[in-house]
C-alpha cells in the first residue's frame, strides 16, 4: 500500500535550546512585506504583515511569534483560518485546509498596539522608544515585538519594509530606499532588502536625523545623525571607506547593496548591528576616533553574522569571534598594533581571568554574549592563521564568506571547510582546544 503521510502540527519552537520559545517549526519564510503606520508622539503602531511561507511538512497547524501587540485580522491564502488564538508570544493558527509539504502559502496579519521591548535573559530587546524617536535592537529574540515572524536565525527571508510616520522624522530600515512620499504631514519610507535576512537583524530607526551620503562607488554609504554632533560624526566615521577596503581585501566583496550608519541622539550601552546597518549611540562618537574598534566590529558583522548566519545560537562564536578578530585585522591594516600583538595581549587577559568551565562552542544561553566567547573565538582564528600561514588563512576566509554567502553555518561546517581548503589536519584540534575546552591553550 502507498504510504500516506500523517498531517503534522508545526511546533511552536525552532528547537533551539538557547531560545526554546522562539521560532516555529513546519515552515520556512521566503519573504516579509511589512506595512507600518506609526505615531511617534503616542507610540501607536498599526500594521499589516504579508508573509510568504513554504510548508516543510504536511501542515494542519502552525504558529508565529508576536509579543505585546494585538491581532485584529488574520488570513491564510485569503481565507480566515478555521481556528486561531493569540497567546503571550505566539499566534496559533489552524488553516481551513491542510497545507501539503512543499506548498507555498500566504499569511496576512493585521495588528497593532503600543510596541515595546521584549524581556529576555539578556535585557529588553526589540522595539524601543528613544527620547524622540525609535530604535529597534532585536538580538536575539526581539523581532516579535514589532512584527509576526518565525523568529530564529536559521529562518532567513527577503523583506520589504514600509514605514509611515510624522514628516519631521527620518526613517531608516534595512536595504535600499525604493520609495519616499509625503502627504498630509506624514512621510512614507519604503525599503527593500533583497538578500536573505534573519529576523533579529531586521530593524527600523526613527529620529530627527541629518543624512550625509558618502562616496558612492559600487557601494552606497550613508550616515544619519543628530545635526548638533555633525563634526564629531564626520571625524569618527572618516575612516569608514578605509575599513571597508581592508575588509573587502581580507574577507571578499561586501555582501549587500549598501551600508548605513545611524548615530542616535540617546546614549546606548553598546553599538548594534543590523543587516546593512550599524547603530551607535551619541556616546560612541567623541570626535577623536575613540570608537574605531567598535565601528570595525559592527562593519565586520555584515560578512560574519549577517551574510553568514549561525544555524543555532550555540555557535555564536562564528559571529562574535570573527567580528572581534576583524578589530585586530583593522588595527593591523591601519598601522596600529598587529593582530598577533593583540592576540598575545588578550590571551594573557583570558588566562588571568578567574578559572571557570565556560565552553565557547556551547556557552549556554546565559553566557552567549560573554566577552570570553568574543575573545577566545578571535584567538582560535589567530591560532589557525599561525598554523596555516597568512596566504592560506585569508584565502580560506574569503572562500568561506563566498561559499556560504547569505546562508547558515555551523562550527562543524567551519572545521570541515577550513580543513579541506587549507589542506591542514590541525584545524579540528585547534578548534577543539580553543572552542570546546575550558583551559586556555598556548597560541603556538
Which pLDDT tens digit goes with each residue over 105-123?
999 999 999 999 999 999 9
* Of 98, 117, 273, nearest in space to 203 by CA: 273
What is the tens place of the pLDDT at every residue in 314-324?
Answer: 999 999 999 99
pLDDT at 189 over 80: yes
Q: How far apart are CA 261 and CA 366, in angstroms?
A: 29
The set of residues, in sequence order, having a beta carbon less than 8 Å from that of 379 and lying 6+ positions away, is: 343, 346, 347, 350, 434, 443
Query: Virtual CA dihedral for 257, 262, 268, 274, nearest 10 degrees?
Result: -20
Cell numbers representing residue 294 in the block: 567598535
pLDDT for residue 1: 36
Binding positions for Zn(2+) are: 297, 301, 320
- Strand partners of residue 124: 119
What string of DSSP letters covers 212-267? EE---TTSEEEEEE-GGGHHHHHHHTTTHHHHHHHHHHHH-S-SSSEEEEEEESS-
Q: What percent of the chain has pLDDT over 70?
A: 97
- Strand partners of residue 131: none
Give residue 3's pLDDT band: very low, low, confident or very high (50, 70, 90): very low
pLDDT for residue 4: 43
pLDDT at 215 over 80: no
Answer yes or no: are the C-beta atoms of 109 and 71 closer than 8 Å.
Answer: yes
pLDDT for residue 222: 95
What is the tens place of the pLDDT at every residue in 73-92?
Answer: 999 999 999 999 999 899 99
What is the tens place of the pLDDT at every residue in 375-411?
Answer: 999 999 999 999 999 999 999 999 999 999 999 999 9
Q: Which residue has the cell 483560518?
A: 81
Cell numbers representing residue 182 in the block: 509625503
pLDDT for residue 13: 87
User: What would the mean pLDDT of 214-240 be, rounded to a whole number?
Assistant: 90
* Of 56, 13, 59, 53, nearest in space to 32 by CA: 53
Cell numbers representing residue 440 in the block: 586556555
What is the tens place of the pLDDT at every residue in 269-311?
Answer: 999 999 999 999 999 999 999 999 999 999 999 999 999 999 9
The CATH architecture one would assign to domain 309-435 is Orthogonal Bundle (1.10)
Backbone φ and ψ of 35, nearest 5° = -110, 105
Give residue 181's pLDDT band: very low, low, confident or very high (50, 70, 90): very high
Q: Where are the beta strands (DSSP E) in 56-150?
A: 59-65, 70-76, 83-86, 90-94, 104-113, 118-120, 123-130, 133-137
Q: What is the mean pLDDT of the chain?
A: 95
Catalytic residues: 298, 374
The dotted CATH code for 209-290 is: 3.30.2010.30
Mark 116-151 as b/e (b = at least 16 C-beta within 10 Å).
bbbebeeeebbbbbbebbbbbbbbbbbbbbbbbbbb
pLDDT at 216 over 70: no
pLDDT at 372 over 60: yes
The superfamily in CATH containing domain 1-205 is tricorn interacting facor f3 domain (2.60.40.1730)
Q: How far apart are CA 154 and CA 166, in angstroms?
A: 35
Give residue 30's pLDDT band: very low, low, confident or very high (50, 70, 90): very high
Backbone φ and ψ of 374, nearest 5° = -65, -55
DSSP state of 25: S
Q: What percent of the chain has pLDDT over 90?
A: 92
The set of residues, in sequence order, having a beta carbon less than 8 Å from that of 382 and lying 6+ positions away, is: 325, 328, 339, 340, 343, 443
Give residue 2's pLDDT band: very low, low, confident or very high (50, 70, 90): very low
**Cβ neighbours of 30 (radius 10 Å):** 15
Burial degree of 267 (CB within 10 A; 0-12, 13-18, 19+) = exposed
**How remote is the C-alpha of 370 from its chain's centroid?**
17
What is the tens place of the pLDDT at every residue in 240-276?
Answer: 999 999 999 999 999 999 999 999 999 999 999 999 9
All CATH 3.30.2010.30 domain ranges in the chain, comma separated: 209-290
All CATH 2.60.40.1730 domain ranges in the chain, comma separated: 1-205
Q: Which residue has the cell 555584515?
A: 302
Indicate the helix (H) or strand (E) that contains 331.
helix 317-333
pLDDT at 218 over 60: yes
Cell numbers representing residue 282 in the block: 551619541
Binding positions are: 297, 301, 320
Q: Taking the alpha carbons of 135, 138, 144, 148 in that order, is the dihedral positive or negative?
A: positive
Amino acid at each position: 500500500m502507498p504510504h500516506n503521510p500523517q498531517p503534522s502540527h508545526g511546533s511552536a519552537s525552532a528547537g533551539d535550546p538557547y531560545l526554546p520559545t522562539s521560532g516555529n517549526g513546519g515552515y520556512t519564510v521566503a519573504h516579509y512585506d511589512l506595512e507600518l503606520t506609526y505615531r511617534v508622539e503616542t507610540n501607536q503602531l498599526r500594521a499589516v504583515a504579508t508573509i510568504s511561507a513554504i510548508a516543510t511538512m504536511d501542515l494542519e497547524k502552525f504558529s508565529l511569534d508576536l509579543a505585546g501587540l494585538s491581532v485584529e485580522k488574520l488570513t491564510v491564502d485569503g481565507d480566515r483560518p478555521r481556528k486561531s488564538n493569540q497567546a503571550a508570544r505566539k499566534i496559533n493558527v489552524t488553516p481551513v485546509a491542510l497545507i501539503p509539504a512543499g506548498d507555498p502559502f500566504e499569511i496576512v496579519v493585521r495588528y497593532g498596539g503600543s510596541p515595546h521591548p521584549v524581556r529576555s535573559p539578556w535585557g529588553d530587546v526589540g522595539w524601543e522608544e528613544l527620547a524622540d524617536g525609535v530604535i529597534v535592537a532585536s538580538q536575539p529574540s526581539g523581532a516579535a515585538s514589532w512584527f509576526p515572524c518565525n523568529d530564529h536565525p536559521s529562518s532567513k527571508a527577503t523583506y520589504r519594509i514600509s514605514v509611515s510616520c510624522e514628516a519631521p522624522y527620518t526613517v531608516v530600515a534595512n536595504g535600499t530606499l525604493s520609495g519616499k512620499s509625503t502627504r498630509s504631514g506624514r512621510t512614507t519610507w519604503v525599503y527593500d532588502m533583497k538578500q536573505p535576512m534573519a529576523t533579529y537583524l531586521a530593524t527600523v530607526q526613527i529620529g530627527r536625523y541629518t543624512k550625509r551620503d558618502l562616496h558612492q562607488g559600487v557601494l552606497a554609504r550613508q550616515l544619519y545623525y543628530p545635526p548638533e554632533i555633525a563634526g564629531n560624526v564626520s571625524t569618527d566615521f572618516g575612516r569608514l571607506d578605509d575599513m571597508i577596503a581592508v575588509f573587502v581585501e581580507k574577507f571578499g566583496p561586501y555582501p549587500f547593496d549598501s551600508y548605513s550608519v545611524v548615530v542616535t541622539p540617546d546614549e546606548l550601552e553598546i553599538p548594534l548591528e543590523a543587516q546593512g546597518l550599524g547603530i551607535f549611540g551619541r556616546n560612541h562618537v567623541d570626535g577623536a576616533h575613540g570608537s574605531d574598534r567598535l565601528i570595525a566590529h559592527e562593519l565586520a558583522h555584515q560578512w560574519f553574522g549577517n551574510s553568514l548566519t549561525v544555524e543555532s545560537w550555540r555557535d555564536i562564536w562564528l559571529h562574535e569571534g570573527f567580528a572581534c578578530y576583524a578589530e585586530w585585522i583593522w588595527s593591523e591594516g591601519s598601522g596600529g598594533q598587529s593582530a598577533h600583538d593583540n592576540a598575545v595581549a588578550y590571551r594573557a587577559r583570558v588566562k588571568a581571568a578567574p578559572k571557570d568551565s565556560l565552553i565557547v562552542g556551547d556557552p549556554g544561553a546565559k553566557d552567549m554574549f560573554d566577552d570570553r566567547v568574543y575573545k577566545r573565538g578571535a584567538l582560535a582564528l589567530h591560532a589557525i592563521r599561525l598554523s596555516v600561514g597568512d596566504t592560506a588563512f585569508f584565502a580560506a576566509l574569503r572562500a568561506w564568506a563566498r561559499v556560504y554567502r547569505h546562508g547558515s553555518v555551523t562550527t562543524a561546517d567551519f572545521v570541515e571547510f577550513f580543513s579541506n581548503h587549507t589542506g591542514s589536519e590541525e584545524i579540528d584540534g585547534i578548534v577543539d582546544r580553543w572552542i570546546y575546552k575550558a583551559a586556555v591553550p598556548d597560541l603556538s
